[in-house]
Structure 1
Amino acid sequence: MQVDGDISIRSDTLGRLALRAVSLQNRLDVVAPNLEWLRVHGCNYVDARISAPILTEVEWDDGYDPARHRFIDTGRHLHRLAVTQWTQTPPLLERFDVADELSLHLTIPPIPSAYSKFLENTSKLPQSKVLTVGLKVIGHSMGSSLLHLLRKCGGITKLKIEFIHLDAPMVSLCNHLGCSCIQQEMLRTDNVTLDSLEEVEFHFFTGCDEDIDLVKLLLMCKKTLRKMVINVADDLALSEEVQKKIQSFLHPSTILEMGGPASRKRDVCQCKDHDWY
């Protein structure tokens, strides 16, 4: 449903609802006692009041403002929460205490204040078992950004990392500007606890040095995994040298699966203007 003007929905049977705002300053009021699945796109400036006591899945595209976006009678435990953040406004993370499956696709622009905002907006994450991460890290350290999120999600059993390769300023810009992403404290792995982690999947893997370094960094946090899956990007085949290098990082008991291409598109936003990749 496209939201253009004020909308009020009252339904005892509605189970799934997808909303997309096409104008600013809308008002939206939803009372749906059987609503289980909600997708919201581009509703930054919409005043929304959603009453959904059995809501279990939320896909939220772009910023969240607790003063504008109010969940009424909704519990704090979701089966799945998928957040795509294009701006530096807070994502919908602190509203829920638990999300069994948590999917984060976040953008970090190439300025120190944006990185500080990223740290602030992700200071508290819902407890989860499965974590999917896709970061548009423009000019910052991908390693320190990922480690920050993992410190907040120590109870996960499965981790999915989607590589996003950009033509962007190098991290050396952060050295010049004194950004916190390159501070040694942010790159520590001894304070990342992943005792429950069993399986890791990498998607859109290219075999470049940055991708390999991230695999190595992750294995410094959790040396023994039950399984690792690496799916390559489109039209790529990993060289034997790269495969052997990855294998050398792994514990002998870890199962390694190499596959691809992994060009699946996420299902958070259906708008062609907002294709993440």
Structure 2
Amino acid sequence: MDGTELTALVSMLCPRLRKLSIQVLLVAVSDVSIRSDTVESLWFHVENIGRLDFVTPRLEVLNASRAIEVHISAPKLAEVVWNNGTYDPRLHQFTDASRHLRLLDISCNSLVASLLQRFDTVGKLKLSVSISQGIAEYNSFLSETNKLPNCENLSVYSVWNHHGLARTMLHLLRNCNSIRKFSLMLVDGPYPSLVISQILRSIVIFLTLVSNVLNDCGISLVI
């Protein structure tokens, strides 16, 4: 299947769709343009796609990845799950979309973090924090996350590491001062035995520090 066939399949052969899920490998890199007056939920994971144009006045839920260039016209957009690996406002555009969401779920690295600045308020913000080794990547992440949308529920998923996790979490909390609930999920990483004790000590210090900060602000912490 190529981009033209996929466009025809969705736009013309399925005119009454409300929920659309697509996972396919196109035979060659090509553009896809989808127009629908009925689709409310879109799960779109297509390999070998160049530019994606999606125009739908009723779209509320978007889960997308792999598109090099995305132009989405969706004035009712309320939930975004962004697994694209990168976000460039020049190439990835939410035309006519509101600046307020119920949910924003992204893998938050220095290449995606600027998506946070596209929206002013988010009911629930879910961040999978992943920062490559190196001071340049870390500083880039801090710069891109200096402005976060206002949200009441912040959920963070991260790997314990020994190069700035505590500072990263506190940075996010300082820049998201409207939250009332903070959820933190931590997973193990492939660490050598020599740093395990250092990580355990960091866990105790980090949880104590964060808990004190959140308690002072009246925010509940879930781990």
Deviations 1:194-241 (A, max 9, x none): xxxxxxxxxxxxx943333222011231335575555xxxxxxxxxxx
Task: Give the direction of change, closer, same or farther, for the CA distance of 1:128–1:169 in structure 2 (3 Å limit).
Answer: farther
| TM superposition shift of 1:137 | 6.0
Q: Please give the alpha-carbon distance, in whole angstroms, between the structure 2 residues aligned to 1:226 and 1:132.
A: 13
> Would you say 1:34 and 2:34 are equivalent positions?
no
Partner of 2:90: 67
Q: Is the 8 A contact 2:81 2:106 kept in 1?
A: yes
Task: Give the direction of change, closer, same or farther, for the CA distance of 1:76–1:228 in structure 2 (3 Å limit).
Answer: closer
Deviations 1:47-95 (A, max 9, x none): 211000000000001211111111111110001100114x531331111
Q: Is the 8 A contact 2:181 2:219 kept in 1?
A: no
Q: Is the 8 A contact 1:17 1:37 kept in 2?
A: yes
User: Structure 2 residue aligned with 1:79, among 82, 102, 118?
Assistant: 102
Structure with the bigger percentage of strand: 2
How many residues were matched structurally? 191
> Would you say 1:57 and 2:71 are equivalent positions?
no
Q: Is the 8 A contact 2:131 2:137 kept in 1?
A: yes
- Kindly provide the amino acid, as one letter, of the partner of residue 57 in structure 1: E
Q: Is the 8 A contact 1:57 1:80 kept in 2?
A: yes
Q: Please give the alpha-carbon distance, in whole angstroms, between the structure 1 residues aligned to 2:81 and 2:98.
A: 16
Partner of 1:20: 45
What CA RMSD, in Å, does the superposition of the two structures yield over aligned residues?
2.4
Structure with the bigger percentage of helix: 2
> Would you say 1:126 and 2:167 are equivalent positions?
no
Give the secondary structure class of the aligned counterpart of 1:115: helix
Q: Please give the alpha-carbon distance, in whole angstroms, between the structure 1 residues aligned to 2:124 and 2:106.
A: 11
| TM superposition shift of 1:8 | 1.1
Q: Is the 8 A contact 2:128 2:156 kept in 1?
A: yes
Q: Please give the alpha-carbon distance, in whole angstroms, between the structure 1 residues aligned to 2:169 and 2:151.
A: 16
* Percent identity over paired residues: 35
Q: Is the 8 A contact 2:179 2:219 kept in 1?
A: no
Runs of 5+ unmatched residues, structure 2: 1-21
Q: Please give the alpha-carbon distance, in whole angstroms, between the structure 1 residues aligned to 2:215 and 2:51.
A: 50
| TM superposition shift of 1:165 | 2.1
TM-score, scaled to structure 2: 0.77
User: Structure 2 residue aligned with 1:143, among 149, 163, 166?
Assistant: 166
Partner of 2:128: 105
Runs of 5+ unmatched residues, structure 1: 173-206, 231-277
User: Structure 1 residue aligned with 2:117, among 91, 94, 97?
Assistant: 94
Deviations 1:17-59 (A, max 9, x none): 01113126x111101100000001233xx22110000000000
Q: Is the 8 A contact 1:109 1:137 kept in 2?
A: no
Q: What is the 5 A alignment of 1:1-277?
A: 1-2=22-23, 4=26, 5-23=30-48, 26-43=50-67, 46-61=68-83, 62-85=85-108, 88-91=110-113, 92-136=115-159, 138-168=161-191, 208-223=200-215, 229-230=222-223
